[in-house]
Amino acid sequence: MRHRSFIALAVALVVMIGGAVAVYAYDSTRTDKVAKGISVSGIDLGGMTRSQARTALDQQLAAPLSRPLVVKYGRERFRLSARRAHLRTNVDAIVDEAMRRSRQGNIVTRSWRSLTGGEVHAQLTPEISYSHAAVERLVRRVKSQLDRPAVDATVSFTSGAFQPVPSHQGNAIRGVELTRNIEAALVMPDGDRVVRAHSKITKPKVTTDQLAQRYPAIIIVDRNAKQLKFYRHLSLNHTYRIAVGMVGLETPAGLYHIQNKQINPPWNVPHSSWAGKLAGKVIPGGAPNNPLKARWLGIFNGAGIHGTDNIASLGTAASHGCIRMSIPDVEQLYPHVPVGAPVYIS
């Protein structure tokens, strides 16, 4: 009886040992196989060897990512190569991770899973790196070529007159959105590697319709004709007869702006030879020997527009650089010309 028990035990041991050996042998054949249920970015690696998994990832992941990315806007095209983007994919590391996941559990659970068709259920995400600086450079390049700033309406002064310049809307590429879309497309192997840029319209601060309101007063001085033309909201309001600077003391030509205004201004006599004994003195406003009568509109470096009681000088080049007007005329003009109003002297 004892002999039979010994034989039975021996047989059981042999069977167990044989089974263990068989399980070990079977598990050893799976060391280079990816378990079922493991995928990388939707690429099923289940049942592949390490070499096959790497080839699959090279072909289906790394190769598509190596294609250049193209930004489109209308007919314009901007390319970013994988090399310039410093695009890198960790294929070897992700294959190592797939093999590690495949070997999880003990020898028995691994073998049982394999024999019964069980799966690991692991969806792995590869590490795809790129240069953010390269993306920023691409976006800057796109914007530099496609952005068009809005143009404010303005007035151009030339040839003794002015010309309204109309406003234009601008165009601005949506840079933040474009950056985000480029970065998403760079790491997407199954995309078409095309990113479409979008833009927004930018409006001018001053439109053509607002231009007249922006220029309530413009003064045009024609030294040859001895005329001052006053425009209100870009329309001619009045033409005045004036006197301008004499030879050697000419009224300065160019574009200026009204710098200051005064009623009955004092006269700060310049240190010039023509001033004689008055040079350097200050003659009070309204004084008989003060040639600046009634009103003063300062323009540039001591020159300005003022009234005069020397009516005979109007229509001539008789002043020491200022623009003379009759007293009624300068009084009429004065309240309509704000500080900052342009004065164009031709």
Catalytic positions: 306, 322
The answer to whether the beta carbons of residues 120 and 102 sit under 8 Å apart is yes
CA dihedral (55, 60, 66, 68) in degrees, to 10, reads 160
Return d(Cα 139, Cα 157) in angstroms, integer. Answer: 38
- Of 236, 255, 231, residue with least CA distance to 336: 231
Q: How far is CA 162 from CA 8, 303, 346, in A?
A: 119, 22, 11
Q: How many CB atoms lie within 10 A of CB 251?
A: 24
Q: Residues for the chain: how many in total?
A: 346
Q: How far is CA 190 from CA 38, 61, 111, 172, in A?
A: 19, 8, 35, 30
Q: How far is CA 312 from the centre of its chain?
A: 59
Q: How far is CA 260 from CA 49, 252, 320, in A?
A: 88, 17, 19
Partner residues linked to 124 by β-bridges: 40
Burial string for 6-41 (b: 16+ CB within 10 Å, else e) reads eeeeeeeeeeeeeeeeebeeebeebeebbbbbbbbb
Return d(Cα 71, Cα 184) in angstroms, integer. Answer: 13
Return d(Cα 134, Cα 320) in angstroms, integer. Answer: 64
